[in-house]
A and B are shown apart, each in its own frame.
Chain A
Amino acid sequence: MKRVILFLILIAFVAHSWAQERTVTGTVTAEEDGTSLPGVTILLKGTTRGTISDTDGNFTIQVPESGGTLVFSFVGKISQEIPLGSASVIDVVMKSDVFGMEELVVVGYGTQKKSELTGASISVSSDKLEGLVFSNLDQALQGRAAGITAVNTSGQPGSSVSIRIRGQGSLRASASEPLYVIDGVPVQNVSQSGHDIGLGDRLGNGSVQTFSGLAGINPADILTMEILKDASATAIYGSRGANGVVLITTRSGRTGDAKFTYDGYYGLQDQVARLDIMNLREFAEYSTDWAAETNGRDPRDEFLDPSLLGKGTNWQEELFRTAPMQSHQLSAQGGTDNVKYYVSGSYFDQEGTMVGTDFKRYSARVNLDADLKDWFKLGSKILYSHTEENLALNNSTEGIISVAMRTTPDVPVKNTDGSWAGLSYEGAPSVINPIAKALDETNILKKNILYANFYTDLTLYKGLTLRTELGGELGNSNAYHFTPTYQYGSLVNSTNTSRKQYNQNFFWQLKNYLTYSREFGRHDATAMIGQEVSESKWEYLRGNSNGLSSNDIKEPSLGDPTSMAIGSGHGSYAMSSFFARANYSFNDKYYLTYSFRYDGSSNFGPENRWAPFHAVSGSWRLTNEPFLEFITGIVNDFKIRVGWGQTGNQNIGSYRWGASITKMPTNLGQGFRQSNIANPYITWEKQEQINLGFDVGLLENRVALILDLYQKKSTAMLMDMQLPSYMGTRGNVSIRLNPPMGNFGEIENKGIEISLNTRPLIGTVTWNSDLQFTLNKNKLLGLDGTPAAHIEGYGQWTDLVSLTEIGQPLYTFYGYEVAGVYQDKEDILSSPAQKAFPDDGNFSRGTVWPGDLKFADLSGPDGVPDGVIDEYDRTNIGSPLPKFTFGFNNVVRYKDFELIVFINGSYGNKIFNYVGRSLSQMNTMWSNQLISATDRAKLEPIDPDKVYPFVNGYGTTINNWYDDIDNVRVANPGTDIPRAVAGDPNENNRMSDRYIEDGSYLRIKSISLSYYVPGNLLNRIRVDNMKVYVNLQNMWTFTKYTGLDPEVGASQTNDNVFGLDNGRYPAARIYTFGVSFTF
């Protein structure tokens, strides 16, 4: 062995000694518009010798006298090999490569030529994202790749996006995000809750939060994002591959002089949508009518003559603002043949369109690659970033948007003396002034992240390389909360509260893998085998106190000593894995891949710690078959891919296999309680997926279609055992005996993905269009337990809003169906009985009454309608999951101008308008309402001349027509909105399809116009190239949804809830102006 290596190394050295040389020059141009192509890599085949074309597309390269072959390659173009012969001038025209067949694509633990891929994956390259405004890289994925559904959790700056690759594959939202791997290092903490970072439930109780774990990454550093979708592609990530994998590659240096690039933009954001809520005059009229209609309430004197009133406080205008944003990045890229570098620094600052929110990021990156020896490469990728954000509670009944909508217009924001005003009303706690809360309360999150990855590539033998990577992440996130002392109107808080938590996490990973490739004639084989080990550790320390002597300095140490408390904790997690992959291809026609991974995770107990994952896939490139040559005039490329694979999910946190003990203070001293019921047998969630894909290129690749069909089934789904309350496992999370977590469910996702790229125009005006279409059907196939087993989701607190039964899509909304409005007593008596039907038949306005909602009698204890409206009549009232989503991108170029129009949308998803529900309750005169509440059922006497009072058959004295069930009917029979009534005896506001709305939308996501300043102008100022652009983002949204923004994702206040709009922070419309130049 030793000798063989020695021999090979000798050969390598010998190969380096060239004899005579000569110069070859030429120009590279693009086929479609004839423009020169700068940056094309020109390599002498079989050597490391190469160059790059300059800004005018010219190149010069030294070649041996004997000639050789030059390989021209460029992203998005088909590579060309030109035999030199004796020519000294070579002009090359490069054709567009819509499939990117020649591109090297990053796959798990290696790269492959795109043409060799057998699995389903899709690239989003940086050029697709130019000009767009987004703070986090996950926001960039929306509508860009078929098979991916991306929904912004919030419009708050720096907020996260729920990304689902091929549907919701696991029950828990926090465990359904894809695995993000940046330059080989998996990102930790993509999904964290407010409790995890130390803000408690200040941002809601759910596990999905507005702040993003990816916010520290500067999107401008990204070169490509490769999204691995099917199991044959992700199985190499084994236990973490079930939700798909997003491989992110950052920019690297390239040979040549240093090029400095500045990218910057400035933008203004505003909120265009408004809810149609009452102004002061309308509210005064409503309030007075309400008092009359509900009896027993005195109308408010100041409202008796609405014409004397102004419009009052418009809380929406007070809440939203026009907010600036800016981004600046400076990078340097360059290197020698042996050492290449990419260095960048960036600053990003976005204020929120809602008062009191903002996001800032500072980042610096250094990427180095060095060829130390022929057989030894070394490199590093290092990122440091710092983010700071001001956060606010939203998408919650107590959230600032919800409260602002409900606050009545008669309350000013501030009193005439400049102090905050407030609202106090009967029967409820005083309402906190939402603007004051947004501005006075502190919720700050600061993060520092250091990512680093070091690699070495050793060529041990011809075709045999060993890659070793040592990578890691060192992160800390500090959370600060402060509630000041305040007086908002009559609401007084005399004790302030300060809280601060330091979290630190450290992750390291070491991986080694050997790759061997060899060609034998028409056979081409690659084998890879490797091993990986990783460990993650975290710890936190919290201090909090109350009663600081002022609001000026917010340190917990300044509080009342008797109120001081600390919290602390630490933990760790480890994985060990072995993996292998074999690729084989024959004659560029048949490709086969097999991959295997064996994972051990500390998340599981000794019983079930290790699991294997296999995948096989193959593809057949029909167009390379001689017998199909006759169609190549029309069909340039036709490839069929088939794959099957297994992946897993282990994202449950540590020690769910045992029962831990939690501290709980008591008045008798320290208390300790069992926190959960153990399940030592808990194991991996398993997923199997099959995929059938077609890649078709037509008409000289002016039309390129990628179509994928898939079915994936998650079994042994990790979830809490669903138990009734009598098992002690329901209720307050702070104290309940948590149910055992285990492998209890089965989910299926089936779907179609279409990616259609066309070039309708080429020539002077070019037009490229790119359509991404995703259709997914999600179904809960099974749950352990009885056939009645189901999964519940709650709105605020205990409102059951979703319930998924076996056979339905996850997160299905659940409630009653409205069948109309009771017109009169006759109608009530002839309809199925409501719960509020009086026991003794003595109707009053505190029982069911004309004007109340009639609900549909769908079922009963025996499964058939039973004439009674009760819990059995609740049903599936819509799914929040879209039938399909799409993105449509168009790039039109004319001379130096480029216009990009990007449209995206979602079809068939339902939204539960929970904020609309609270704005149409009509059960108090102290909460603002939608204007549509004026169309509520109004009552009138049937016989105006009937004489009162009289005593009815039950001994009750009836004083007026409106208390007389026999003499009341609805005056506006067409209405579908119930009567106004205090206390809501008929529960008109119960969960019903009254609040379910169509959430389909089509959004002009971005329109951007760029101008590439011509070179002759630039040369004078020594600038290589320059672009100026304007971009309009979220310009128009077409939807029937009546809320602020139809893009409603996972709930921040409750798990298992999706598409519930409880005052979600809407996305802003953004106008930006930007410039980018290289010198």
Chain B
Amino acid sequence: MMKTINKIRKILALLIILLVVGACEEFLDRPTEDSYTIDSFYKTDEQCFQAANVLYNAPWYDFQRGWVRIGDVMAGNVYYSTDDVYQSFVLTSSNAQLTDASNSLWMVNGHCNAVIENIDSKAGPDVSTATKNTVTGEAMVWKAMAYFYLVRCWGAVPIVHSNSDIIGEGTALKLRRNKVEDVYEYIVRTLERAIELLPEQNQPGRINKYSAYALLSKVYLTRSGWGESGSRNQEDLDKAKEYAAKVIYESGVTLEPVYSDLFRISTGNRNPENLLSWHWVASDQWCSQNSLQSDLSLNNFTGLADSWGTWVGPTIDLQRAFGDTANTKVRANTDVRRKATMMMYNDHYPYFWRNSGGFTATWDDDNNIAGATFGCGTGANCVKHIVGNTEDHAAEYGSPSLRMATSLSTALIRLADVYLIYAEAVLGNSASTSDPQALAVFNAVRQRGIPTAPDETSLTFEKIFKERRLELACEGDNWYDFVRLHYYNPTLAKQWLNNQERGSFNNLKPYYRDEVAQGDVTLNSFKVNITDDSKFFLPFPDVDISLNPHLMDEPVDFDFGSIGY
């Protein structure tokens, strides 16, 4: 009996112990166990750089499609179909690529703000000031880049300087748009601050001081026309020239001699000419990769059943700008950039399908090395952003490509771009210029593309504008040249767009197969007729307007006193 009672006692004692254990606060304190938290990270230089690494790829992922659609389809460089809302300028606010693009750019800003704030408040004592400055500078350049896209696409947008502050204050749903000039001012100030923080040289592929100068010169050049009519603001043009000159004469970077090498993994990913790039990697983590190949390459081109670009390709208008056209079988290869930009009948690429002797665009579905399907009505397909099959990827990068994933970096600002910015800034409001430095950089770009081209002796706006198109076609940039022009000369911007041939050819395939004569290839012409200036601003995504109707209000001034620089 005593035994039993002792047992009961023991049980009761155990019960009391358990009550104490149960109440123990430590038992319930369980921060995340298998990953870092913002309080436990940012403790070494390496961790701080790793925090910035993400800004070079994943947040930009959903912008890739919009980047091509806006940058090149709207610009008349890439054909999707005459029904495509970007190609025919009937874009509405519910468009999926538009929503994705907008989400993505804002995500970039949010992540940049998070990095800037966390480096400032959470970095450990072992992190060097140089690292903090570099990482903060990198984040500021990416933030500026995101806002530069935002302001050129949508015009007035809200300035979100600190996501956590706005959420903390509970004002997230009440923000107004800020005026376009303030957004530009914010970009300029952010870049100026970044320039103070960034080193002259950084690890290969990372942003350095000159990446920031390059972007700043482009921002000034673009801003110079805002709110002006017929001419541009000379102060901004001077700044654009000044910062472009820093990159050209002080960075030590020169043009890559082989144009096509800029767009391949092995020669392009860390090419010094590529001053600012997204650095994708094919991994098992979605969003880390470059997926442009899937959208832009021929069906079956990759061998992974993950490409659908057979009916997508450079426009007839762009072919003509290069001096070529798909309704002939003989290629006019005066401009090396043509073949590096678009794949046309009979073009041979030794670096695609290299394990099978290279790829030739035979326009014969049953008789090409990839088993690819040809079909784009313009007779051309994209080459930039294309890597090839998994073995090409392995040869260029060291590991094979994955479904919808390559490790090809995407150049956003190249030295050649800065050369042309310099020329345009020097030309400024004049009708023409013979400035020797402007001519030198312009000719350097042009003659890399067309080795036989004679030296230009005088530059006009139209010459520079056209050269920019040839040099930067299919790099997600050309539309913004129209935006820049539209700021101060809307008539010319509309006229040039309305003149573009955005249609397709009939009977191309039978012609290439010798089934019909060249004369049977007819042009199915399609041109846009833009009369409304609102076409130069993209519609704000639906979701945001319904959550915050104030976005429709007139843009307001931004309080620059609140940002500390």
A residues touching B (Cβ–Cβ < 8 Å)? 2, 5-6, 9, 296, 424, 426-430, 432, 458, 460, 466, 468, 486, 490-495, 497, 510, 512, 531-533, 535, 544, 546-547, 560, 562-563, 565, 567-578, 600-602, 606, 609, 654-655, 658-674, 677-678, 721-732, 734-737, 739-740, 784-786, 788-790, 792, 797-800, 803, 835-836, 839-840, 842, 846-847, 861, 871, 954, 982-985, 987, 990
Contacts and interface: CB of A to CB of B under 8 A. Distances in A.
Contacts of A577: 22
A786 B549 CA distance: 10
Contacts of A722: 547
Interface stretch (B252-260, B283-291, B479-487): B283-291
B233 interface: no
Contact of B375 (A426, A432, A601, A654): A426
Contacts of B400: 495, 546-547, 560, 562-563
A726 B107 CA distance: 8
A840 B5 CA distance: 97
Contacts of A847: 90
Nearest to A456: B11
Contacts of A840: 529, 531
Between A296, A426, A468, A667, the greatest number of chain B beta carbons within 10 A of the residue's beta carbon is seen for: A667
B163 A677 contact: yes
B382 to A, nearest CB: 15
B35 interface: yes
Contact of A786 (B35, B174, B389): B174
B402 interface: yes
Nearest to B205: A668
B377 to A, nearest CB: 10
A625 to B, nearest CB: 42
A846 B548 contact: no
Contacts of A654: 30, 32
A497 B546 contact: no
Contact of B100 (A573, A609, A784, A798): A798
A48 B18 CA distance: 33
Contacts of B4: 9
B283 A731 contact: no
A486 B104 CA distance: 34
Interface stretch (B304-312, B317-325, B426-434): B304-312
Interface residues of B, number: 128
A790 B285 contact: no
Contacts of A296: 82, 524
Shortest beta-carbon contacts, A-B, top 3 = A728-B110, A983-B83, A731-B103
A655 B29 CA distance: 10
A248 to B, nearest CB: 25
A800 B96 CA distance: 10
A660 B308 contact: no
A737 B543 contact: no
Contacts of B99: 725, 798
B196 interface: no
B231 interface: no
B50 A735 contact: no
A724 B549 contact: no
Interface string B405-449: 001010000000000000000000000000000000000000000
Contacts of B96: 797-799
A735 B106 CA distance: 12
B94 A2 contact: no
A731 B146 CA distance: 15
A695 B25 CA distance: 45
Contacts of A661: 35-38, 40-41
A674 B84 contact: no
A673 B111 contact: yes
Given A659-B38, A800-B542, A788 B8 contact: no
A667 B205 contact: yes
Contact of A495 (B21, B173, B390): B390
Given A426-B375, A609-B28, A665 B163 contact: no
Interface in B16-51: 18-19, 21-25, 27-41, 47, 49-51
Contact of A731 (B100, B118, B160): B100
Interface string B273-309: 0000001110111111000000000011001110110
Given A493-B304, A531-B18, A736 B1 contact: no
Contacts of A512: 15, 18
Nearest to A668: B53
A454 to B, nearest CB: 14
B93 interface: yes
A487 B494 CA distance: 47
B23 A668 contact: no
Given A728-B108, A732-B286, 4 more contacts: A6-B5, A569-B35, A606-B25, A798-B99
Interface of B: 1, 4-5, 8, 11, 15, 18-19, 21-25, 27-41, 47, 49-51, 53-54, 56-59, 61-62, 81-85, 88, 90, 92-94, 96, 99-100, 102-104, 106-111, 113-115, 118, 157-158, 160, 163-164, 166-167, 170, 172-175, 203, 205-206, 269, 279-281, 283-288, 299-300, 303-305, 307-308, 311, 365, 371, 373, 375, 389-390, 394, 398-400, 402-403, 407, 409, 524, 529, 531-532, 541-549, 551-552
A667 B280 contact: yes
A674 B102 CA distance: 20
Given A790-B547, A839-B532, A673 B58 contact: yes
Contacts of B549: 788, 861
Given A661-B36, A668-B206, A669-B53, A839 B394 contact: no
21 contacts: A460-B8, A492-B303, A492-B305, A493-B303, A495-B303, A576-B27, A609-B28, A654-B32, A661-B38, A671-B56, A721-B167, A724-B544, A727-B167, A727-B172, A728-B160, A731-B100, A732-B100, A739-B167, A788-B548, A871-B93, A985-B90
B399 A562 contact: yes
Contacts of B8: 5, 458, 460
A430 B552 CA distance: 41
Given A672-B54, A728-B111, A576 B28 contact: yes
A871 B51 contact: no
A728 B47 CA distance: 23
B305 to A, nearest CB: 4
Contact of B299 (A490, A785, A789, A842): A490
A533 B17 CA distance: 12
B175 A726 contact: yes
A429 B308 CA distance: 4
B118 A666 contact: no
Contacts of A458: 8, 11
Contact of A674 (B24, B27, B114, B524): B114
B106 A789 contact: no
A730 B288 contact: no
Contact of B172 (A568, A666, A723, A842): A723
B84 A983 contact: yes
B66 to A, nearest CB: 11
Nearest to B311: A427
Contacts of A664: 53-54, 57-58, 285, 287-288
A497 B203 CA distance: 34
Between B30, B61, B166, the greatest number of chain A beta carbons within 10 A of the residue's beta carbon is seen for: B30
Given A492-B305, A669-B50, A736 B103 contact: yes
Given A658-B39, A677-B167, A563 B205 contact: no
Between A468, A531, A565, A723, the greatest number of chain B beta carbons within 10 A of the residue's beta carbon is seen for: A723
A1070 B287 CA distance: 44
Nearest to A669: B53
Nearest to B21: A533
B461 to A, nearest CB: 27
Contacts of A861: 549, 552
Nearest to A606: B29
A572 B31 CA distance: 9
A641 to B, nearest CB: 33
Given A562-B399, A677-B167, A846-B83, A665 B30 contact: no
